[in-house]
Homo-oligomer: A and B are copies of this chain.
């Protein structure tokens, strides 16, 4: 998932209510509903993302018999998409719904909450967060910024993007003008890629005109809506720059602590439910979208193994550099890496053992 350019969001900034107004403290009075605002990093068209935030808010309201009401605002309605963390931290709004690797420049360690290159897949990420110490470790870092964080969704492994020409060798990456942001972009510069920051609404025309050679966005279900398949026919897999893309809900720490316990319970349960449900929705919708894209003539390709190999090496080189520069990054990386390796060894034996056999069979049946 690439950075969403601020420019795109500023367009929508006038739409929202009371932009910049600081959230009043949620004093709980008998019979008075607590009202929160949740700003998301997503336009409403990304219904699996923004829709999940809305579903979370609806569940919380129903769980509390209407006593805890959270209204979700799409990107740009109150703050721009990359302004979510600041808005929550500064108490402009009480909570947000975002991808924490958007804030890589501000807090590199937060990227482990979202998912990093060649990192944990969606199930492994949930295991690390909920039963492997990840949530506690990351919240120890978030609290420095007056934030409480918890997972509230996952997008899974994304596609590796749309390319006008095939990527056959590592050499083909040199000089490639690729729309990608954040950590993935930093890693790829080591291989000669020239990362491009382009707003979602401008990717199509940039690809069409050849201003860029390639662009990554999300996966079949979301990509199809933007029509990239009409201007770039090679659709590569996998998006190795995120083992999965976990979506996080951030709450302002003081606001969180002021909540009655049952409201915190409702928030936590609803966030966990959406972690499952968002991934399930993508897993249900992506195959249908992929089928339509294939029917439209899209050529799905896998990155050649030497390309992955070069990217993998550049990735772990980058991690070492970041760990040397940033203490929080090092602290999380040192806990995360052994979990990754042990988890991979188990998944390879059991889950992959059966999955790989089954997946190949499905290709044959049709």
Stretch at the interface among A77-85, A123-131, A172-180, A249-257: A123-131
Q: Across the interface, which residues of B come within 8 angstroms of A356, CB to CB?
A: 352, 356
The answer to whether A62 touches B265, judged by C-beta atoms less than 8 angstroms apart, is yes
Q: Across the interface, which residues of B come within 8 angstroms of A273, CB to CB?
A: 268-269, 272-273, 276
Q: Which of A261, A346, A347 has the most chain B CB atoms inside 10 A of its CB? A: A346
Please report the C-alpha to C-alpha distance between residue A240 and residue B63 in the assembled complex, in whole angstroms.
39
The answer to whether B362 touches A62, judged by C-beta atoms less than 8 angstroms apart, is no
Q: Mark A244-274, 1 if CB is under 8 A from B, else 0.
A: 0000000000000000011001101110110
The answer to whether A127 touches B355, judged by C-beta atoms less than 8 angstroms apart, is no
Given contacts A276-B276, A345-B290, A357-B308, A350 and B59 within 8 Å (CB-CB) = no
In the complex, A118 has a CB within 8 A of chain B: yes
Q: Across the interface, which residues of B come within 8 angstroms of A64, CB to CB?
A: 262
Stretch at the interface among A225-233, A280-288, A320-328: A280-288
Please report the C-alpha to C-alpha distance between residue A343 and residue B358 in the assembled complex, in whole angstroms.
11
User: A341 — nearest CB in chain B belongs to which residue?
Assistant: B362
Chain multiplicity (copies): 2
User: A129 — nearest CB in chain B belongs to which residue?
Assistant: B280
The answer to whether A342 touches B280, judged by C-beta atoms less than 8 angstroms apart, is no
The answer to whether B344 touches A283, judged by C-beta atoms less than 8 angstroms apart, is no
Partner of A124, one of B239, B283, B342: B283
Please report the C-alpha to C-alpha distance between residue A279 and residue B343 in the assembled complex, in whole angstroms.
13
In the complex, A365 has a CB within 8 A of chain B: yes
Please report the C-alpha to C-alpha distance between residue A357 and residue B356 in the assembled complex, in whole angstroms.
12
Please report the C-alpha to C-alpha distance between residue A345 and residue B238 in the assembled complex, in whole angstroms.
14
Given contacts A344-B361, A350-B237, A361-B344, A281 and B131 within 8 Å (CB-CB) = yes
Please report the C-alpha to C-alpha distance between residue A14 and residue B277 in the assembled complex, in whole angstroms.
40
Q: Across the interface, which residues of B come within 8 angstroms of A360, CB to CB?
A: 348
Please report the C-alpha to C-alpha distance between residue A286 and residue B351 in the assembled complex, in whole angstroms.
12
In the complex, A18 has a CB within 8 A of chain B: no
Please report the C-alpha to C-alpha distance between residue A121 and residue B281 in the assembled complex, in whole angstroms.
15
A interface residues, Cβ below 8 angstroms from B = 59, 62-65, 118, 121-124, 126-132, 156-159, 219-220, 237-240, 243, 261-262, 265-266, 268-270, 272-273, 275-277, 279-281, 283-288, 290-291, 300, 302, 305, 308, 312, 340-363, 365-366
Beyond A240-B357, A312-B357, A344-B362, 7 additional contacts (C-beta under 8 Å) are A124-B283, A129-B280, A130-B281, A286-B350, A291-B345, A344-B361, A356-B356
